[in-house]
Amino acid sequence: MSGKTPKVVIVGAGSAGLMLADGIADRADVTIVEGGIDPGSPAPRQLLYDYIFPAGLDWGYRSTKGVPLLRGKVVGGSSSVNSSAGVRGQQWDFDPWGEGWTWADCLPALRANETDLQFGDADHHGDSGPIVMTRLKPGPIDDAFTAACLAAGHPEAPDHNAPGALGIGPWPTNRVDEGRWGTLAGVMPGLRGRVTLLAETTAHRVVITDGRARGVEVTEAGESGTRVLPADVVVLSAGAFGTPELLIASGVDLPGVGEHLQDHPWVMLNALADPDLIAERPVSGSLLRCGLGGDPREEIQVFPFSAHLYDTSRPVGEVSFAVGLMAPRSRGSLRVTPDGTAIDLGHLAEEIDRRSLAEGVRIAADLLDRVAATGVVTIPDNPWWRGDDLEQQVVARAETYNHPVGTARLGDDDDPTAVVDRRLRVRGVDGLMVADASVMPAITRANTNLATMMIGRRAADLIEL
């Protein structure tokens, strides 16, 4: 494309899309299409400090079981409305992704994206990126939970983003002054004036002629008709639900589109505590990561947090001990039907997942008993986790951790289920890429936001301009 400034249209101003835009804004004419609002810079207080999902900022997805699947419809995407859980994943998460996506390949982008306030001088961390990482002062419940974990033989883990870290330690979290620091707060201010942002604009399809992406058909805010934004390169960064919807709407008929959906299922062990103790650190306090049966690859998370913080219908004195299954085998799917988008999360479809989550609950229940023995929390009478058929109980109670990935997965040329190649190019369509969580070949054993930001940063290196 020598001789002219290439035009790039990015669909989705979320965790990956804004990182990609930041990486190419000085060498391309970049337009970002975002269906949600632009709250402006600096980010408003509500999107920094509130935990109740903001009304009107959800894409409205539902699973085939009718469960809400919250996705942020706002600049910054879900990083503007999530809990700012900042765990990257393990090196053994990335190495199986293969050539170009191993831990060694991904680490430079992970480092470039962050400023780690405690460990920025370590080789595996960054100290000058736009996403500020920190660890917050624990509260009394975190202290009791940490003591219980140590007494049970779990090691200390002061930095959960150190390679191979497992054990009990503070949550890494992307926050500034305890406020949520996603791509809206951390990246968008530096993009203003460098890119064109079309907020509240609906992307209908990628216009493809003669095997090449030519632009994106959109309806802009306040308009009733459509127009085509011309582009030399189109990048879909609309997320694990939005990206396959757009591929299907654009006539991209590849067998892997919408398949291989993965998500972390989790369950809650709820106890009671003094509301004042909960309030001292209601979220992002302590985190246990451990491997079932001594195998670090069979990872679970266990951590306490305030249920009331996210759902005001819950008692203010309720504390949830969450158990997340971080290495699920089960797969779901996304289908576009005449009746709408059908999303089957596939939670616990595989027997090994049911056994593993039940075992994780047993571990958490033992820790909760230890915490209760100190008097910090009270376990309710006849808790569900002490019932007869624990596997049946976890199947009935499993919820989404809201980490969908894999619906346009990357892979080798001989993999018929791979939607994009190792440079994130959509197979069979020139000038079309995907850069978001949908390209993950397998879910990370971690909250997926930092890995998604990394994919956006890597895409800036891989895009051909």
Structure tokens at 122: 């370590």
Structure tokens at 56: 């009107």
The domain defined by 137-170+265-327+348-397 folds into: Cholesterol Oxidase; domain 2 (3.30.410)
pLDDT value for 387: 85
Q: Which residues of the chain have pLDDT under 70?
A: 1-2
CA atoms within 13 A on the CB side of 216: 31
Is residue 68 reached through a cis peptide bond, with omega within 30 degrees of 0 on the bond before it?
A: no
* pLDDT tens per residue across span 322-368: 999 999 999 999 999 999 999 999 999 999 999 999 999 999 999 99
- CA dist list (Å): 180 to 23, 24, 46, 47: 22, 25, 10, 7
pLDDT at 55: 85
Contact 50, 71 (CB under 8 A): no
How far apart are alpha carbons 430 and 425 in whole angstroms? Answer: 8
CA pair distance 174, 181, nearest whole angstrom: 5
Name the strand (E) or helix (H) holding 221. none
pLDDT of residue 220: 95
- What is the H or E stretch that residue 294 is in? none
Measured distance CA(353)–CA(300) in Å, rounded: 11
What does the domain layout of the chain look like in residue ranges? Answer: 7-133+177-200+404-462, 137-170+265-327+348-397
**Residue closest to 163 by CA, chosen among 128, 122, 127, 116:** 122
| Cα 312 to Cα 286, 306, 309, 378, 379, distances in angstroms | 22, 10, 7, 20, 20
271/256 Cα distance (integer angstroms)? 42
Residue count of the chain, please give it: 465
pLDDT at res. 263: 98
d(CA 97, CA 452): 14
Closest by CA position to 100, among listed 417, 418, 459, 465: 459
Q: What angle do CA 104, 12, 402 make, to 5 degrees?
A: 70
Integer angstrom CA distances of residue 204 from 110, 220, 225, 323: 32, 11, 11, 38
- 318 φ/ψ angles, rounded to the nearest 5 degrees: -100, 130
Q: Which residues pair with 213 in a beta bridge?
A: 208
Fold of the domain spanning 7-133+177-200+404-462: FAD/NAD(P)-binding domain (3.50.50)
Token representation of residue 120: 């920025």
Q: What does pTM read for this prediction?
A: 0.97
Q: Tokens for 131?
A: 């996403």
Buried b (16+ CB within 10 A) or exposed e, 93-123: bbeebeeebebebbbebbbbbbbbeebbeee
If we measure between CA atoms, which residue out of 77, 436, 34, 450 comes closest to residue 235? Answer: 436
Max intra-chain CA distance, the chain: 73
Q: What is the pLDDT of residue 351?
A: 98
Secondary structure, 3-state, 123-139: CCCCECCCEEEECCCCC
CA 18 – CA 194 distance, rounded (Å): 12
Q: How far apart are CA 361 and CA 367, in angstroms?
A: 10
Task: Look at residue 1 in the predicted model and tell me its pLDDT.
Answer: 54
The residue to which tokens 């230890």 are assigned: 370
> Which single residue is written with the structure tokens 């958490």?
364
Write the CB contacts of 196 (distance below 8 Å, at least 6 apart in sequence): 29, 30, 31, 32
Strands of the sheet with 7-11, listed across from one edge: 196-198, 29-33, 7-11, 233-236, 432-434
Specify the 3-state DSSP secondary structure of 32.
strand
Residues facing residue 207 across a β-bridge:
215
